[in-house]
Amino acid sequence: MSFSSLKKQSSLGSLTSKLVKEIEKTSTTRGGADERLWKPELDKSGNGYAVIRFLPAPDGEDLPWAKVYSHAFQGPGGWYIENSLTTSGGKDPVSEYNRDLWNSGNDADKDVVRRQKRKLSYYANIYVVKDPVNPHNEGGVFLFKFGKKIFDKLTAAMQPEFEDETPINPFDFWQGANFKLKIRKVDGYWNYDKSEFDAPAPLLADDDALEALWKKEYSVAEFTSPSNFKSYEDLERRLKSVLGQKQAQRPRFDEEVETEDNARAPVVAAVAAPVTTQSTDADEDDALSYFQKLANE
């Protein structure tokens, strides 16, 4: 798609309907530090604030985001930190193992399933408008990894609940809107409930400058590329090793475990005990309904 075609589709609103259809249809955890990824930080008061703008799909790609399921948990034989094959609708050994535990009817087994449930992550390109903690990021194009809570706000912008609200495409250069990211700590975890979109307005007044930003975007399709997923057999071998009696392996220091609402907790802080992740009720229901669906198959 050319930049002129991108602008034409913006004026017609066709991109918004396309993204809404994708959301209705769907209803990688990268190893090592990735300098392309932007991460918000808390200030001295323990809160976080930044203004970002979600960007259109990169040239040659259909969607402005990628959706990835992964697992991150510790067993007797070490850590299991892998992308899930359920991302592309395939069978995954952890999901199958969790299904068997869930079907046992044992409450203790269900607690294990909750610890080992899928983690949901999204990736999108953003433009950093304001970053008070790291102002050198302002004006830059980055990848942003986020969870279900923020994606729900994107969905709500495109599919408002009330008739007096005008739907917007938050990924649009011209008719999108800046996103005010507001982070509070609730029960020790990051909470994004107060985050909101500003009034719709062009990101920049100069189309040449917008096109330059567009050309700086990173691929998001790569996160769902088969190269980022191990085979079923390799994952099964790893799972069996983690569930065995081998000495727990210390995870890499650059890894992070995230709950589905993107609350970060460094894995190195929990080497001695199994990871127990907290998430909102909505995220818990989403994950457990998946296991219930498997149980009914």
Domain spans, the chain: 1-297
Q: Are strands 141-146 and 37-38 parallel, antiparallel or unpaired?
A: parallel
- How far does CA 111 lie from the centroid of its chain? 24
d(C-alpha 249, C-alpha 78), whole Å: 4
CA atoms within 13 A on the CB side of 167: 15
Q: What is the pLDDT of residue 7?
A: 78
Overall fold of domain 1-297: Replication Fork Single-Stranded DNA Binding Protein (3.90.198)
The SS3 call for residue 242 is: helix
The four Cα atoms 228, 232, 234, 235 give a dihedral, to 10 degrees, of: 80
d(C-alpha 208, C-alpha 185), whole Å: 40
d(C-alpha 29, C-alpha 142), whole Å: 16
Is residue 230 within 8 A of residue 82, CB to CB? The reply is: yes
Structure tokens at 20: 């809404």
Provide the residue-wise pLDDT of the chain in tens; the chain has 297 residues.
Answer: 788 877 777 776 666 767 766 665 554 444 457 889 999 999 988 999 999 999 999 999 999 999 999 999 999 999 999 999 999 999 999 999 999 999 998 999 999 999 999 999 999 999 999 999 999 999 999 999 999 999 999 999 999 999 888 999 999 999 999 999 999 999 888 999 999 999 999 999 999 999 999 999 999 999 999 999 999 999 999 999 999 934 434 444 334 444 444 444 433 333 333 333 344 444 444 445 554 555 455
For the chain, what is the radius of gyration of the CA atoms?
A: 20
- How far does CA 90 lie from the centroid of its chain? 19
d(C-alpha 57, C-alpha 68), whole Å: 17
Helix axes 93-103, 281-296, angle to 10 degrees: 80
Backbone angles phi, psi at 296, to 5 degrees: -85, -10
Closest CA to 79 of 270, 279, 288: 270
Q: Which residues contact 272 (CB under 8 A, 6 or more apart)?
A: none
Q: What is the pLDDT of residue 23?
A: 64
Give the residues across from 227 on adjacent strands.
none
Residue ranges in the chain assigned as alpha helix (H): 3-12, 14-26, 93-103, 107-115, 148-158, 207-215, 232-243, 281-296
| pTM confidence score | 0.76
State how far the alpha carbon of 3 is from the alpha carbons of 10, 60, 63, 94, 280, in Å: 11, 11, 15, 42, 39
Is residue 262 within 8 A of residue 280, CB to CB? The reply is: no
Is residue 232 within 8 A of residue 92, CB to CB? The reply is: yes
Q: What is the pLDDT of residue 116?
A: 94
